[in-house]
């Protein structure tokens, strides 16, 4: 029961995850010392935080309304975007009231959204501080895309595994059916493959869609396509390998 359409969905989801990472203001270690724009941690942690929240959102949506495509996808995207908004906001509060730095980007002279002057507020020797409006909005867009991508992967896998005989059983009385947890395990694997590939592409830090590094996106799309094609193929082969279920 190898469904080609579901494979395409997984690949599309992988590409969306990779593209989403390019929008997220990842500051890395310099931002943790408020010396660069973005949230002060690496892509892996940011993606894990917002991506796993997205997967939990998508998973619970799918569990409550099995087979509802739109609900699962939107819940995944919104959960991830919400988590990133909270992360960037709390980090901004700490930068402003804790470290005492204004929110500013060093890559552009004027914020493309608010049109506010940026360069005057960048401390000498630093690359900006915190997440200004453009990075914040960009991050929410990126997390939404990545969440939708993760939810697409999850949905495709859950739909596939639901058909395996014996997979609607649950472990004990508290757990979700087997297909829900197996799909989550694989979706997390494919999520990390794509988000780390994308973070290698941006070299660890990016400010958002106004950053010149954003132009590297096509390379990430190719890498995500191949990586999620292999990962998705392996994930879908499980159904071929378990014709009789467990």
Partner 1 sequence: MAEGEKSPRQLMAIGVLGGLICIYIAHYLNSGTNSAWFSFIAALGAILAVYYGANAVRRVASYGLGTGVPSIAMLSFGAGQIAVLLGLAVALNYNIVVAGPIIALILAAIIGLVNGVMARRVIKMNIAIMEMSMMEIAMAASLVILGLSTAIAGSFTFNAIMSYVVASGFIIAVFIVGAMAMFHPFNACLGPDERQLRTLNLALSTGFIAMLVAGIASGAINGVQAAVPMLIVAIVGWLIYYMRFWADTKVDAAAVLSTGLIPTEEEVA
The residue ranges that bind partner 1 (CB under 8 A) are: 28-29, 42-45, 48, 170-172, 175-176, 178, 181-182, 185-186, 188-193, 196-197, 199-201, 203-204, 219-220, 222-223, 226-227, 230-231, 234-235, 237-238, 241-243, 246
Work out how close the CB of 102 gets to partner 1 at its nearest, in angstroms, rounded to a whole number. Answer: 26
CB nearer to partner 1: give 50 or 199.
199
Work out how close the CB of 242 gets to partner 1 at its nearest, in angstroms, rounded to a whole number. Answer: 6
CB nearer to partner 1: give 210 or 219.
219
Q: Cα(121)–Cα(59) distance, rounded to whole angstroms?
A: 42
Record the tokens describing residue 12, joined without a space.
């599309």
Smallest CA-to-CA distance from 216 within 233, 197, 230 is with 197
CB nearer to partner 1: give 52 or 122.
52
Work out how close the CB of 187 gets to partner 1 at its nearest, in angstroms, rounded to a whole number. Answer: 10
Whole-angstrom CA distances from 79 to 34, 50, 73 are 27, 8, 10
Which residues, 6 or more positions from 233, have their beta carbon under 8 angstroms from its beta carbon?
7
CB nearer to partner 1: give 133 or 196.
196
Work out how close the CB of 11 gets to partner 1 at its nearest, in angstroms, rounded to a whole number. Answer: 14
Judge contact between 216 and 201, C-beta under 8 A. Answer: yes
Smallest CA-to-CA distance from 28 within 53, 2, 46, 16 is with 46
Q: Could you write out the DSSP letters of every residue in 143-167?
A: HHHHHHHHHHHHHHHHHHHHTSTTT
Work out how close the CB of 167 gets to partner 1 at its nearest, in angstroms, rounded to a whole number. Answer: 9
38 DSSP 8-state letter: S
CB nearer to partner 1: give 100 or 172.
172
> Any idea how long the chain is?
246
Work out how close the CB of 140 gets to partner 1 at its nearest, in angstroms, rounded to a whole number. Answer: 22
Work out how close the CB of 221 gets to partner 1 at its nearest, in angstroms, rounded to a whole number. Answer: 10
Strands 36-37 and 104-105: unpaired
CB nearer to partner 1: give 76 or 104.
76
What are the counts of helices (DSSP H) followed by strands (DSSP E) for the chain? 7, 3
CB nearer to partner 1: give 141 or 188.
188
């Amino acid at each position: 029961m190898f469904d080609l359409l579901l494979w395409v969905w997984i690949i599309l989801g992988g590409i969306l995850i990779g593209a989403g990472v390019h929008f997220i203001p990842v500051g890395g270690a310099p931002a943790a010392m408020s010396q660069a724009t973005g949230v002060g941690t690496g892509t892996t942690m940011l993606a894990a935080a917002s991506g796993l929240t997205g997967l939990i959102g998508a998973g619970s949506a799918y569990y409550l309304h099995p087979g509802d495509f739109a609900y699962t996808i939107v819940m995944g995207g919104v959960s991830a975007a919400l988590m990133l908004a909270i992360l960037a906001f709390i980090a901004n509060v700490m930068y402003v009231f804790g470290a005492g730095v204004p929110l500013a980007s060093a890559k552009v002279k004027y914020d493309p959204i608010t049109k506010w002057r940026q360069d005057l507020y960048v401390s000498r020797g630093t690359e900006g501080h915190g997440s200004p409006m453009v990075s914040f909005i960009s991050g929410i867009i990126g997390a939404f895309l990545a969440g939708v991508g993760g939810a697409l992967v999850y949905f495709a896998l859950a739909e596939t595994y639901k058909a395996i005989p014996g997979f609607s059983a649950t472990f004990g009385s508290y757990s979700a059916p087997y297909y829900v947890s197996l799909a989550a395990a694989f979706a997390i694997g494919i999520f990390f493959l794509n988000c780390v590939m994308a973070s290698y592409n941006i070299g660890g830090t990016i400010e958002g869609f106004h950053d010149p590094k954003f132009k590297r996106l096509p390379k990430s799309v190719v890498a995500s396509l191949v990586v999620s094609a292999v990962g998705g193929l392996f994930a879908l082969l499980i159904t071929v390998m378990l014709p009789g279920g467990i």
